[in-house]
Structure 1
Amino acid sequence: MRRIEFDYRLSKQRKYIELRMIPTWKIKRELARLQVQVYGLFGYLTDPYRRRKHKVWRTNELKAYEGRISESAKIALLLIYQPKLIPESLLQSIKHLVQNGYSPLVISNTPLSSSDTKLLLENCWRLVFRPNFGYDFGGYQDGVWLLNQLGIQPTTLLIQNDSVWHPIFDGSTMLEQMEASPADFVGTQIFERISTKPLTPELMFMGSYCFMIKEKAYESEAFQSFWINYRATSNKEKTLRRGERAFSRKLMDAGITFKGIFAASDYFAMIDGLSDTQVEIGIEYLICTNPELVVRRDSLKVADIDADWYIEARRLLKDMCKKKNFIGASPVLAINHMDFPMIKKNNERHYKLARAAILRAAQNNDIRPLRSEILDELRKRDV
């Protein structure tokens, strides 16, 4: 069997060039990381005081404004940070929740204009304003605290933030799939560490941008104690460790049943089932930042297409997923063939490239029809 030949010497040359001429985006990335580390040292000293201050504020001053939507057994805790105007996509996201039977509890990490406040109150169950402290898990903690203060025990609690566009196309059934799952802790996306060993809680966690807690999990000691004891921080890395990863471990270790609707294993199975034409589309819009994988992708784009080409293309599509989150590495395939109904707003270069690929695919009719407000906001996002 003929194998596609890649010039790995070119890869070495590129690495050498990168050492001599480091791309601007890499310099900016490393400076941003340094800034986070410096801020983390400052936060180490100030976070305990800010937590105490915030707890006093929450007890004495947190106010939930009553919206037009009535209370139901299904609550959607939606955390938002919109220092400018409320975008149309966010309004449609809230309406999507209501259409699926949820009572939206919107928690804003920033003040809003009177017109935007009125707009949200017309479309939500409760609206809360809080100081911008603690990232998403700080807001989630206040939301769970409020539900307990109100004596509300939802049969289903959806927790989501506005770091994603959702839904990006009409007819999304993701919420229905999450509700239909027999698991009590359901994530939109489960991150599985690639391992030859059986998957264990230590090797996986749920993405914190959207997950669902069923009644049994909500009432569990593991869930409630996590939020009571959670130490909010405005250090992003600590929030990921203490929040996203520790939360998943807490529930999984407690024996709460869990499931991720979208997983890397599902992506691999999807790649195996693609037609030849779909594989070609996948390579065309594949996002690579790893130098060696860039060489492999670019070599495929100029190579003659035959049976060996498709074997190598499928291998590359899978290898890229092992390096980066598949929703950022193969966004077009994830949307087209996994019905993934979200696009990340993350400002990392990888996700910016993914959004550009989605727009290019939309222009070429290589992606399913996306909602008009999503396309409009995508075009304006990275200008």
Structure 2
Amino acid sequence: MSGKKSSKLIREIVRPAKQLGELVHRSASRVYSPYVYDLTARKRVRMSPGALELKNNVAIYVIAPFHGIWPSHLQALDFIVGSGIAPIVVSNLPLSANDKNDISDRAALIIERPNLGYDFGAFREGILHLRDRLEECSRVTLLNDSVWFPTPNASNWFESLDAQSSLFSGATSNYGGSLKVPKSLEPEVWTYSPQANNFHYQSYAVSFSGRAIRDPAFLKFWTTYPLTNSKDLTVRRGEIGLSQWAISQGWSTSSTYPIEQMDLLVKPLSESRLREIAERLIVLGNPEFLALKHRVLKEKTDKESLRQMILAAARCLGVAYATPEFNLREMQFPFLKKSPVWHQKEASDITLRIVREHGDRWGILEEVEFLRRSLP
């Protein structure tokens, strides 16, 4: 038997065992991991009181400070506190004494925990700490440091939340429309709905009203939430799972970014402005859409084609990632995603250019340039 055929045979023999192992992991972690974690790893959780009083309006701010605490972390906390909200900071990594001191002045509580379950494991930790006072809470907001927040000249997201009457709200949502990348940019009717398959609100910024928090199902969701270090499973059970669960409860849900009206939002823009937004579309993990972007921008493209490409990016890629130029200038959106800075050169260059054009009024230029060192 040739070496090539032998390798193929070995792969065919190993594949069922690998698939079975993945199935066992998914099934076991779904049933057992909350209880195993609580009996074992949770004993290593460390809590330190902060300088602030724990109020009824709480924000659980999750951080993963692989490179220590940046000024942007402290600015986010200052904004949260200035909005009358008490932060509980949950770190998925140990904090240095200096970092803990800086955070302590801006937090009601600091929790350091084992890095298991990504942000949802940390959200769970914060909520379990609040379990005896959930009845008193008027709002619980979940935030993580995958974004810079707030951006300069942005609207106050917490005020936007208060203007919503929904039990569960997010800053942005994903998967509300077709994910199919268009072959050509013909005019299409814009449709976006929470009834779409795998629709969800993105976990970097979501919030629960007092009525939602007092529903016994709320605490049950978090108590039984199955932790895992699989990123794919965390997205499915966490981001998508939480949103789909909230919808299944019959709760009212909404996002502060009105993506349902995206077609109307971009309609008044001039051709030159549409081209600038299109040039600054960020495309991660979708080579087909990236090729479409490059092809369209090389061609002599009319206003409608540019508009259709921006709309396609919103539904295929999500506005939180894809449209930072439009978000910051037209929408006064208070969040900017960090990961494009280190994932892909074009996306990183676009983000750096946008930050520089704002005059670094948020003080993140040093952080951006440091993170760019991790570019592949």
TM-score with structure 2 setting the length: 0.80
What letter corresponds to residue 76 of structure 2 in structure 1?
A: S
User: Which amino acid counterpart does residue 269 of structure 1 have in structure 2?
Assistant: L
Are 2:79 and 1:96 equivalent residues in the alignment? yes
Of 109, 130, 147 in structure 2, the residue corresponding to residue 147 of structure 1 is 130
User: RMSD of the alignment, in Å?
Assistant: 3.1
**In the alignment, what sits opposite 2:369?**
379
Aligned residue in 2 for 1:334: 327
Pairing of 1:120-135 with structure 2 (within 5 A): 120-135=103-118
Which residue pairs with 1:250 in the alignment? 245
Whole-Å Cα distance in 1 between the matches of residues 235 and 315 of structure 2? 20
Residue 270 (structure 2) pairs with residue 275 (structure 1): yes
1:75-114 matches, within 5 Å, as: 75-114=58-97
Matched, 1:315 2:308: yes
The answer on whether the counterparts of 2:152 and 2:334 sit within 8 Å (CA) in structure 1 is yes
* Change in 2 beyond 3 A, CA 1:303/1:342: same
Separation in 2 of the partners of 1:216 and 1:371?
Answer: 37
Count of paired positions: 342
Matched residue, 2:229: 234
Question: Residues 80 and 107 of structure 1 are in contact (CA less than 8 Å); yes or no, is this contact kept in structure 2?
Answer: yes
1:345-372 residue CA offsets vs partner (Å, 9 max, x unmatched):
2269766633421322454x4xx55534
Q: What SS class does the counterpart of residue 274 from structure 1 fall into?
A: coil
Cα 1:323/1:199, change in 2 over 3 Å? closer
Q: 1:167 — aligned with what? A: 150
Q: Pairwise mapping of residues 213-228 of structure 1 onto structure 2 (< 5 A)?
A: 213-228=208-223
Q: Secondary structure at the match of 1:373?
A: coil
In 2, Cα distance between equivalents of 1:128 and 1:141 = 12
Equivalent residue letter for 2:246: L
Q: Write the letter of the residue equivalent to 2:77.
A: I
Tell me the distance in 1 between the aligned counterparts of 2:163 and 2:202: 19
SS at match of 1:382: helix
Instruction: Please name the residue that 2:188 is paired with.
Output: none
Render the CA deviation track for 1:283-310: whole Å, top value 9, x for unaligned.
3323357566555544554555xxx711
Verify: 1:70 aligned to 2:53, yes or no: yes
Return the alpha-carbon distance in structure 2 between the equivalents of residues 293 and 344 of structure 1.
19
The one-letter amino acid paired with 1:276 is: E
Q: What is the rounded CA distance, in whole Å, between the counterparts of 1:369 and 1:315 in structure 2?
A: 31
Preserved CA contact (<8 Å) 1:147 1:153: no
Question: After the TM superposition, which segments of 4 or more aligned residues of structure 1 sit over 6 Å from their partners?
Answer: 348-351
Which residue type is aligned with residue 263 of structure 2?
F
Q: Which runs of 5+ in 2 are unaligned?
A: 1-18, 179-190
TM-score (norm 1): 0.79
1:209-244 CA distance string (max 9 Å, x none): 110111000111331211121111111111111111
Deviates most, 225-234 or 51-60: 51-60
Deviations for 1:192-212, whole angstroms, at most 9, x for unmatched residues? 431569642755211111101
Alpha-carbon offset, residue 163 of structure 1: 1.2
Cα distance in 2 for partners of 1:111, 1:198 equals 40
Contact 1:328 1:351 (8 Å CA) reproduced: no
**Cα distance, 1:148 vs. partner?**
0.9
CA deviation after TM superposition for structure 1 residue 167, in Å: 1.1
For residues 174-209 of structure 1, the C-alpha deviation after alignment (integer angstroms, 9 at most, x for no partner) is 221012111111101122431569642755211111
Aligned to 1:183: 166
Amino acid at match of 2:143: Q
Distance across 2 between alignment mates of 1:44 and 1:200: 26
Tell me the secondary structure at the aligned position of residue 339 of structure 2: coil
